[in-house]
A and B are shown apart, each in its own frame.
Chain A
Amino acid sequence: MFKILEKEWLNVNTFKMVVDAPMVARSCEPGQFVIVRDGEDGERIPLTICDYDREKQTVTIVVQTIGGSTAEMSKKEAGEYLADFVGPLGKPSDLVTDDIEEVKKKKIVFVAGGLGTAPVYCQVKWLHEHGITADVIVGAKTKDIVILEDEMKAVGNLYITTDDGSYGRTGMVTTCLEDLVKKEGKVYDHCVCIGPMIMMKFLSQLTAQLGIHTMVSMNPIMVDGTGMCGACRVNIDGETKFACVDGPEFDATKVDFNEAMRRLGLYKPEEMAAYEKVKAQS
């Protein structure tokens, strides 16, 4: 059992939890994820690590309630327990494992869509602690759903853009990046992009044109997260890879986004029914 130490709603459907998880906190790195089951009969939910504290032995996750299991999990409060919290899973971000002197030479931009802000934060913070300040573009539909703004400002160079222009710049993240490079003279040679699959697809088309090497974090359907089931397979340059062990980050130019988006829809009818059921209960 894993105790929830803090819980906070960041916007209408996104909450943050700080969890007591010594085994994960001791060895996790930015870019990795955990698998959580809220209760004894829960589904295994993969969630990216948003922050961690080795001394306090805690790990922070940020969760968007988009279906039955995440809605169920959102009912848990501080002081209660999660049944399972296993990790760290997947490989850390290249930025963390590459030679730090080489990383320091890079001009790095992060692009986060919506909830993707949380996993991006972990990496930006790590770089900041290692003396590297990166630019961060955070995109959201509208002002109310921007998350982790103050935290991000403290560790990176933040550009917020909203689709409806209600906050920060106006337009999608692609517009913002293109403006920064083409109109505002920014130069980047490395990009990490985390967000909805469709956003990652279009952003990586843009960065390919701009010649910026880009890594995307894939979030396919998973079961075990240890390389045992193959549910998470993604097509990377024509080769089948398991996102839970070979990823979750991959070179954007090699990813077959259309296939990945199609595979995410595998259990649509079942998921809809489960979500309706949980909503009806609350």
Chain B
Amino acid sequence: MEVDMMKKVPVREQAPEVRAKNFEEVCEGYNKEEAMAEATRCLNCKNPQCVQGCPVSIDIPGFVQALKEGNIEDAYQVISLSSALPAVCGRVCPQEKQCEGKCIRGIKGESLSIGKMERFVADWARENNIKPKAAETKKGKKVAVIGSGPSGLTCAGDLAKLGYDVTIYEALHKAGGVLVYGIPEFRLPKEKVVEKEIENIKGLGVDIETDVIVGKSITIDELLNEQGFDAVYIGSGAGLPKFMGIPGENLNGVFSANEYLTRSNLMKAYQEGSKTPIMKSKKVAVVGGGNVAMDAARTALRLGAEVHVVYRRGESELPARAEEVHHAKEEGIQFDLLRNPIEILGDDKGWVNGIKCIKMELGEPDASGRRKPVEVPGSEFVIDVDTVIMALGTSPNPLISSTTKGLDVNPRKCIVADEVGKTSRDAVYAGGDAVTGAATVILAMGAGKTAAKAIDEFLSK
């Protein structure tokens, strides 16, 4: 296979006009030949910048060299040392800001396609039934993990490998957190990828109890004092959706992105014959510019609607992964940038029939260094839509903090934890979105990993 050293080996994708009408995965990924060809572009740097960009410091040149030589299993073992969910991260990490953003190749040409290679290696390992090894000796100690998102799964998996008896308690009826209820099938296949990863973790001996809400069904104190757990890890995420507080937000046809995506992903409302309904919209405005907004917009598009993304800053400020913005545009989603909603309009029956927006321009940089959008007076206009989806971010749910005495939270309702995940309560650790607020899969996973190590040290004392 011929390789242009300055350019990524192109990856196969479903054509935009085809995928806009289905929920199959957009990106088909590399095959072995393509992945190995891409690996030849790596310079095997002495001081690899890419590793610095990866939040869990995967030995990228290490796995890429093994891949180059065709030793896929070795490549998988290298990745596994640092990441428990490579098939997921290879698909959803914001690589352009992390590993690939730092790759030396990116200075003159295109960076290595690290995410796509990682994905190939992980998919290959799964298809060839290569699994993490279960512990041989048990420690005889019990750890409870709250939440089965990437953070909880990783922490549980690592602790099980060390020989602890681990039980995950999950509020929903299905394990996976945002990976099952938030991120759509066309970006992260559920049966093919997520469920298999979860099966692997169960294979390590981790017990997953769904339908248990910690703080309601049982409290952390009861887990520690009555149920015999020696430590607890909180990976409960940041699921509470924000609304704007503008007039008309409770009209029929206004949804949080979480509701819209949960109906479609977790409850399978996108499939024919699903028992859970989802609104059949003709024209949708999605408010926000992050991954959640892109996912909601592209779901609505696939369900047959014309979709506008309304975002108050400009193109370069869109917080979503670059690949998702690119895919969304190819699929025909319209971006109304530098626009901010001020009111949602409804008909006399209380159904949405428009969204009133105002134009914005970028002013002085704010505390975050980003230029602050300010309204252009008198520039109001209306887009006729029948549905508005709010994707403005989420914050941690107070269910756990309000039922656990002595567990400190900050003013943003995030659980306070130190760099290894230790909270203000003895034997209680936390990490992922519950601590940082809405962030990324890889950070949530990294936090679970670090905390597993700290819990092991604590329980080995």
Contact = CB atoms under 8 A, between A and B. Distances in A.
B275 A43 contact: yes
A233 B252 CA distance: 11
A44 interface: yes
Contact of A262 (B252, B262, B279): B252
Interface string A186-230: 000000000000000000000000000000000000011011111
B243 interface: yes
A39 to B, nearest CB: 9
For A37, A44, A229, the residue with the greatest tally of chain B CB atoms inside 10 Å of its CB is A229
A23 B268 contact: no
Counting chain A CB atoms within 10 Å of each CB, the highest count among B255, B258, B349 belongs to B258
A44 B267 contact: yes
Nearest to B238: A228
B4 to A, nearest CB: 46
A185 B397 CA distance: 47
Given A84-B173, A235-B250, A26 B218 contact: yes
Interface string B370-407: 00000000000000000000000000010100000000
Interface in A9-52: 23-24, 26-27, 37, 41-44
Given A41-B275, A259-B350, A271-B277, A229 B258 contact: yes
B241 A228 contact: yes
B211 A86 contact: yes
Nearest to B249: A240
Interface residues of A, number: 40
Contact of B173 (A37, A69, A229): A37
Nearest to B253: A266
Contact of B250 (A68, A72, A263): A263
Nearest to A1: B211
B341 to A, nearest CB: 16
A226 B259 CA distance: 12
A99 interface: no
A92 to B, nearest CB: 11
B274 A41 contact: yes
The main secondary structure of chain B at its interface with chain A is loop
Contacts of B241: 228-230
B284 to A, nearest CB: 15
B263 interface: yes
A233 B250 contact: yes
Interface string B344-359: 0000011000000000
Given A23-B212, A84-B211, A228 B239 contact: yes
Contacts of A87: 213, 216-217
A158 interface: no
A227 B216 contact: no
B255 A231 contact: yes
B217 A23 contact: yes
A177 interface: no
Contacts of B239: 226-228
B210 A84 contact: yes
Contact of A223 (B213, B252, B263): B263
Interface string B275-297: 11101000000000000000000
Contacts of B243: 230, 233, 240
B397 A228 contact: yes
B213 to A, nearest CB: 6
A154 interface: no
B211 A245 contact: no
A34 to B, nearest CB: 9
Contacts of B210: 84, 86
Interface in A57-105: 68-69, 72, 83-89
A230 B350 contact: no
Interface in A145-184: none
A13 to B, nearest CB: 19
Contact of A227 (B181, B240, B268, B276): B240
A270 B171 contact: no
A274 B213 contact: no
B252 A24 contact: no
A27 B239 CA distance: 24
Contacts of B255: 230-231
Task: Give the residue among B210, B216, B277 with the most A Cβ atoms within 10 A.
Answer: B216
From A42, A86, A87, A262, residue with most partner B Cβ within 10 Å: A86
B218 A27 contact: yes
B256 interface: yes
Contacts of B211: 23, 84-86
Contacts of A227: 239-240, 397, 399
Given A226-B171, A230-B243, A42 B275 contact: yes
Contacts of B256: 229-231
B362 interface: no
Contacts of A26: 217-218
B454 to A, nearest CB: 28
Given A41-B275, A228-B258, A262 B216 contact: no
B262 A228 contact: yes
B223 interface: no
A23 B227 CA distance: 12
Contact of A224 (B250, B262, B274): B262
B240 A88 contact: no
B427 interface: no
A235 B173 CA distance: 28
A245 B258 contact: no
Given A23-B218, A86-B213, A230 B274 contact: no
Contacts of A270: 277
B66 interface: no
18 contacts: A37-B173, A41-B268, A41-B275, A42-B275, A43-B276, A84-B173, A85-B211, A227-B239, A227-B240, A228-B181, A229-B256, A229-B259, A230-B241, A240-B249, A262-B350, A263-B250, A263-B252, A270-B277
Given A245-B397, A263-B250, 10 more contacts: A43-B275, A44-B173, A86-B211, A86-B213, A87-B216, A223-B259, A228-B181, A228-B239, A245-B399, A259-B350
Interface of B: 171-173, 181, 210-213, 216-218, 239-241, 243, 245, 249-250, 252, 255-256, 258-259, 262-263, 267-268, 274-277, 279, 349-350, 397, 399
Closest 5 CB pairs of A and B: A270-B277, A229-B259, A86-B211, A228-B239, A230-B256
